[in-house]
Structure 1
Amino acid sequence: MSLLNQLFNRGVLGAKCKTCLNLVISRIKLLQNKRDVQLKLMRKEIAQFLLAGQEAIARIRVEHVIREQNIWAAYEILEMFCQFVLARVPILESQRDCPLELREAVASIIFAAPRCSDLPDMLQIRNLFAAKYGKEFISAASELRPDTSVNRTIIEKLSVSMPPAEVKLKVLKDIAREFNVEWDSSNTEAEFTKKREDLLDGPKQIAVGTALSRSHSRLETPQYSPPNVAHSVTPTTAKQGIQGLASNFSSSDANKTEQSLKDRDVRTCNGDVENQMRPQSSDVLERARAAIAAAERASAAARAAAALVNVNFSSWKPNEVKS
């Protein structure tokens, strides 16, 4: 490129940059005046909500107030940077790389351009800087790489994250003090300091607890107590009842009971709560073993009672029954 073309392009770049910077500065002043009026109305509405006891609505509205205040502060810094760059446009034209004293201002304008929709002229300035310094310089400032010099206050004020609870509480107290509202902030402080629980784990825990309770209720078996042989019964009926009880609690039935309980435990564990019920499988087996042990004890008691009845039956006389 000839020297004449370089001088011509340099003059065109400087003229466009100055025009866009002047437009941005004038637009920022208009937006700040408009935003001042809006902020006063919003703060007044929040004071009315606090006076009416509607703190929940005030806590929501205060986030918008903080957002507008942050944008107002960011615009004020951007206006200062634009004026700083406007006064040094000839220096930008004369040097190939961005000067160190202008690096923070230029990088901050590049970073804020896509985040300030009310200032479309800043995108034009960003494109001019991209043509001057290359896309790599623009990407470094936009992505906040370590070698960039974007102003930290600009980054903080243009952030879209939710403001901290301390900041919201401070703004609410300032609004109440500004409009002379007697407001007790204890409820709001408790709401801000309350820990939020993850609601996604709630239904899962309830479902697991319900499934475990159902499985435990299924696996619970009635406790059998040995028959009371102290009552006066005839040897024939006592022997028949004890033999039937002993047959019900034989060792083969005990094995079948254990196998059925294990099969039922396997079917339960293969359900929808298989992964959650693995830690409780040992408890289920313990309950099954306890039920089997109770059945064996009842069977042993039945056999002992049968032996006792046999002894009494051998010494029984028909004359005693008639008398």
Structure 2
Amino acid sequence: MRNGLVAVVALVALSATACGQTGDEGDWRRPAHAGRTATAAVSHPGAPASALSAPREARSPAELAARLTTAERVSRDPSSARPVAAQAGFEAQVLYRQLAGRPRWMRPVVGAVPVALRATVRLHIRARRAFRTMHHTLSRTLPSWRIVAPASEPALLAFYREGERRFGVPWQVLAAVNLVETGMGRIRGTSVAGARGPMQFMPGTWAAYGRGDIDDPHDAILAAARYLAHNGGGRGKIDQALFAYNRSRLYVRGVEAYAAILHASPAALRGLYDWQVVYLSRRGDVWLPVGYARTSPAGTSAYLRRHPERLLSRSTR
């Protein structure tokens, strides 16, 4: 089940300890003006790239904490307008990526966000650092992928819950794997190891555990649940099952962190659903929006000359 996408979308802001809800959670999630955010409004993530605004990085820990709190609140609030929530999810993703790369900012940021959000912030950074560590070599070129709009959030949640009901694998784990592997189905392409589909199955593994269409999100998510259950995930052995899925302890740590975030607050799925595909290149973090398509790798510099706004942060390496 090895794949070549994991470090890209973990994006995943883009990792496992359990984090419980606290009584004041509602105070920070639902202010009087929950539909407002510091970034521009956008349309549904399946819309053209021009509908989304590339979030800028924060200039200080205080700014990052304030913007992250707003982004998390707005993205989770069901009363937020769909365009505003989508932008908020993207904003949180970019801020988590920035924070993971600035260890000295971690303490002041955690101290400045609401108490109920602190465990979530720590888990996000755990995930981001785990996946970043897995990505040893930065590419000069962009991948030969197509980026497409994913299935709707309600549909995906129904598929995750069906997987849990039928095979005993927690839906949060299935959602985390789907997020890490392909940004919940946004990435269409074959990995360097030959894996395919929203849950990145190798052909032989799909032949044994798949039913239906490897590229169909419903079929792929149920196949992942079937495979994880076979390896102990349906009996509570999540570590063992995830290690069978991708033989990296860092992978297990990252996926379990995202699952823990969802376990503590299922509403967090709304924000994670809106995370974009962000590719870590030698130039830095490059946003590949819905509509991106390459049949062969393109130079990062050439792409950024045409789309300079899609360089979200510059590489420090």
More helix by share: 1
TM-score interval w.r.t. the shorter chain?
A: under 0.3
Structure ranking higher on relative contact order (CA contacts 8 Å, 6+ apart): 2
TM-score (norm 2): 0.17
More strand by share: 2
